[in-house]
Amino acid sequence: MGKKGKAAARERREERRQEVTLLRAVPYEPHQRWWDGLAPARAVAVVTGASRGIGYEISRQLALHGLHVVLASRDAARGRDAAERILREEEAASAEWRQLDVADAASVEAFAAWTARTHGGIHVLINNAGVNFNRGADNSVEFAEQVIETNYFGTKRVIEAMLPLLKPSPYGGRIVNVSSRLGRANGRRNKIGDAILREQLLTDDCLSEELIDGMVIKFLEQVKQNSWSSIEWPQMYTDYSVSKLAVNVYTRLMARRLSDRSEGQKIYINCFCPGWVKTAMTDWEGNISAEEGADTGVWLALLPQEQATIGKFYAERREISF
């Protein structure tokens, strides 16, 4: 892309950013606030990786809209502080913290058991917990195993544990996976080099857990053997991109499994890219705020039932390609 093309792309992004800012300022109409229909109880939302950054901001915005939010995170001090901050700053907010390490199966099991005992179930699950050890022009795969374990297997582990706890309702349960455009199978600059694998990942009838798990295991084996190639795998932030590619494809797989549920039992699962956000994960080098980055995830979680979608990928409140 030449200088003119890049400038035009930046202009389009800025225009859409301003449009979404205006949309965010529009209050939900009473008939759109499906979560109010659950009164006298509040709708319960669980947000993983909620102690800071996008996870915290999603939690804050959901609490502001009137949901009870469980902020889940590994770090106890940060997590408690985050929940207390929401309660201090938002007068009518309802929030609490609970420890959760998505990379630890026992932690996930204990969290699910606590949620069942304490709340009987939930209405919204936001899978935000994730790690990325690369910054700037770096592309190390030194921590690839931890990245894949947290970002993909952790997300999958939480969904499997929490899926039975999504409460039946006329409005449908909501699962939102925080992902990235870097995880596109056919991205212009960061795509999978293996054309056969790429086609399988983009073909719904080919999708299976075995395919997705096999892809990430193959990548990790190549990393251990130091035989991985940027020709075969995404070129930018390779381990992070592979993990988010797996999340994107798993979202579509789960959507297929959930799509034939009857009315009153429906669960809507989607993923979104928050953009390049100014958070600790990007060393504060992003170009949008956490408030802006969280917006599409909150929007997906709160979509009126008649507008709810399943198995889609979004950015700036618009559907984008996988």
Catalytic residue list: 240
Can you tell me the distance from the alpha carbon of 295 to that of 308, in angstroms, rounded to the nearest whole number?
16
Can you tell me the distance from the alpha carbon of 139 to that of 233, in angstroms, rounded to the nearest whole number?
12
In Å, how far are 166, 173, 297 from 243, measured between CA atoms? 25, 25, 19
- What is residue 319's three-state secondary structure? strand
Can you tell me the distance from the alpha carbon of 159 to that of 193, in angstroms, rounded to the nearest whole number?
29
Nearest CA to 276 among 110, 111, 136? Answer: 136
Cα angle value 91/93/94 (rounded, 5°): 140
Can you tell me the distance from the alpha carbon of 279 to that of 273, in angstroms, rounded to the nearest whole number?
14
Which residues neighbour 67 within 8 Å (Cβ) at sequence distance 6 or greater?
35, 42, 43, 44, 45, 94, 123, 124
- What is residue 56's three-state secondary structure? helix
What is the DSSP annotation of 189-242?
A: TT--S-HHHHHHHH-GGG--HHHHHHHHHHHHHHHHTT---TTTS-SSSHHHHH
- Do the beta carbons of residue 250 and residue 212 sit within 8 Å? yes
The one-letter amino acid at 31: H
Using left for φ > 0, alpha for ψ between -120 and 50, and beta otherwise, residue 151 falls in: alpha
